[in-house]
Structure 1
């Protein structure tokens, strides 16, 4: 089934389940004269909001690219997940406030067998609903659906706490409503912040997984004529929509026509397998000159031995103009990469390369492990 259809169908199930619970509790609450059950019914209606937000976000994310949004609207899903995470946080804070009030001003609630049955039914429905929604959310990689499922699970936990508290009250006449509620509320607040981190990081531009980088490199290296892959940069614009760039090594004897063919075929490979729209840059490798090979080994060996240099690549010697060019990637935490580059170039000039001019580019570590 189409991913968006699964998300919407699962969200509709959440709406139906919460409306059923709200209606059931409202009827029972009015018949039993229980304000607590009626208020819990209202809480179930508010839970419908998470599912509605997920559906609206999914529908908006389906909109095709246009002039003002050339990469589509896929990132709207991240905003949906943020809104639901905020709802969870608000629920946790609200529950904490009420629980603290109960600690300082404890009450002696009255529980009946009928009330306990209602609580058990609500717990079972919420647990089943929450587990199903979260499972589907993980399968389709939807942060909004995962957050919505977590919201349902937290409701079940809060209701379970009510059940435990009721049992202790009936058996030992001890009220732990406040303390138990406060503990669970803090756990919900913590989980809310954790849920919030994923979509926020996606919007900020989170580092892609090392496995994804390895998969991209492995696919590009299948292309005939490619002798290395570097500088992989990928931006996510929603599920399955990626924009990025990378550099590849080719022999300096490769013609412009051959380079164009390599470029196009790499772009097709990456789009077909990963949905990645990629721009490909070209590095040349010296051929037929043992001096260039010796110089490369020596300079790269010095780079890799340097404690502040993570890696180096893109090496090429222009003997006609006496220019050596390559890239270096500083380690994280280097405060002045430009000073590091200048210091490394000076060390090379002092080690027998004074007849050459160095063109050394600084790379940020966007994707390397």
Structure 2
């Protein structure tokens, strides 16, 4: 519950941080008229929208399972992350359009030093907040929050490139460089959007948990399945913060239901200690169903 409340609090604060950063970047663009800084501000507009989407998804994902969705609402965060990726790509296309216009009708930025200082301050805020989102997103296993943090880091990289490039524009007087920088920002954002979508689709497709966690699961089953014959067809999947595990447990045909149930309870208890937020399904089978594969206990 503590992590859940903290996740909601961070998701809410992310919206406020996004609005502050957007305001600062709009001021920097207004002062300079730079196409590159405009593209940077446009990406921050997407940050605000993604913060709203992430907040909605986090709240929805924490709803308890019901008759309509008996396995819970955890995948809502993956849908959110896909939407974030799509919006990132849309922003990149808009920035590319502005870059083309800026290249065809180049203008040197005005008041570049003041604009650079304001944009740099906004970037420092983004760096700090992105780390908060990514770290907590991984800890709470929140795909929406982690995607939001990764996008912020993309924004940071873009802004650093823009700032360095505008210094070059100021020193050389080549106005077209401003538009070229905006185009490079757009390409970086496109790559970021594709990465967010790719990872999120994996979650929607019931991707298995990482290999190191699979190894832990198999070891826990092997150590605590004493009295059974084997465990096979072990499957895992990740849905937001929840890990789902199911497998078949083969026991001697003469074993009582009580004894078989006791083995299942022992395995489940140890799995819950080893893997956080886990849902376990064990199908008990008689010995003639043994496949002599998977985890052989006896």
Q: Please confirm whether the aligned pair reaches a TM-score higher than 0.5, indicating the same fold.
A: yes
Q: How does 1:1-369 map to 2 (within 5 A)?
A: 2-24=2-24, 44-174=44-174, 175-221=176-222, 222-242=224-244, 244-251=245-252, 254-271=255-272, 273-274=274-275, 275-282=278-285, 284=287, 314-315=291-292
Query: Normalising to structure 1: TM-score of the pair?
Result: 0.67
| Contact 2:28–2:116 (Cα < 8 Å) also in 1 | no
CA deviations on 1:182-214 (whole Å, 9 max, x unpaired) are: 233222212211111122111112133233332
Structure 1 residues 225 and 17 mapped into 2: Cα distance closer, same or farther (>3 Å)? same
Structure 1 residues 39 and 251 mapped into 2: Cα distance closer, same or farther (>3 Å)? closer
Q: Secondary structure at the match of 2:226?
A: coil
What CA RMSD, in Å, does the superposition of the two structures yield over aligned residues?
3.2
Where is the helix percentage greater, Structure 1 or Structure 2? 2
Following superposition, the deviation at residue 231 of structure 1 comes to 0.8
Following superposition, the deviation at residue 57 of structure 1 comes to 0.9
CA deviations on 1:97-129 (whole Å, 9 max, x unpaired) are: 332443444333334332222222222222222
Alpha-carbon distance between aligned partners in 1 of 2:203 and 2:76, rounded to the nearest angstrom: 11
Q: Secondary structure at the match of 2:280?
A: strand
Larger Rg: 1
Alpha-carbon distance between aligned partners in 2 of 1:238 and 1:153, rounded to the nearest angstrom: 21
**Structure 1: runs of 5+ lacking an equivalent:** 287-312, 316-326, 330-369
Following superposition, the deviation at residue 153 of structure 1 comes to 2.3
Q: Secondary structure at the match of 1:13?
A: helix
Structure 1 residues 187 and 45 mapped into 2: Cα distance closer, same or farther (>3 Å)? closer
Query: Normalising to structure 2: TM-score of the pair?
Result: 0.81
| Contact 1:111–1:166 (Cα < 8 Å) also in 2 | no
Structure 1 residues 238 and 43 mapped into 2: Cα distance closer, same or farther (>3 Å)? closer
**Structure 2: runs of 5+ lacking an equivalent:** none
Structure 1 residues 4 and 91 mapped into 2: Cα distance closer, same or farther (>3 Å)? farther
Alpha-carbon distance between aligned partners in 1 of 2:239 and 2:115, rounded to the nearest angstrom: 48
Following superposition, the deviation at residue 33 of structure 1 comes to 8.6
Structure 1 residues 215 and 24 mapped into 2: Cα distance closer, same or farther (>3 Å)? closer
Alpha-carbon distance between aligned partners in 2 of 1:114 and 1:20, rounded to the nearest angstrom: 18
Alpha-carbon distance between aligned partners in 1 of 2:42 and 2:98, rounded to the nearest angstrom: 16
Between stretches 156-165 and 268-277, larger displacement belongs to: 268-277
Q: Secondary structure at the match of 2:242?
A: coil
How many residue pairs end up in the alignment? 289
Q: Which has the higher contact order (CA 8 A, sep 6+)?
A: 2
Following superposition, the deviation at residue 84 of structure 1 comes to 1.4
Between stretches 70-79 and 106-115, larger displacement belongs to: 106-115
Q: Secondary structure at the match of 2:291?
A: strand
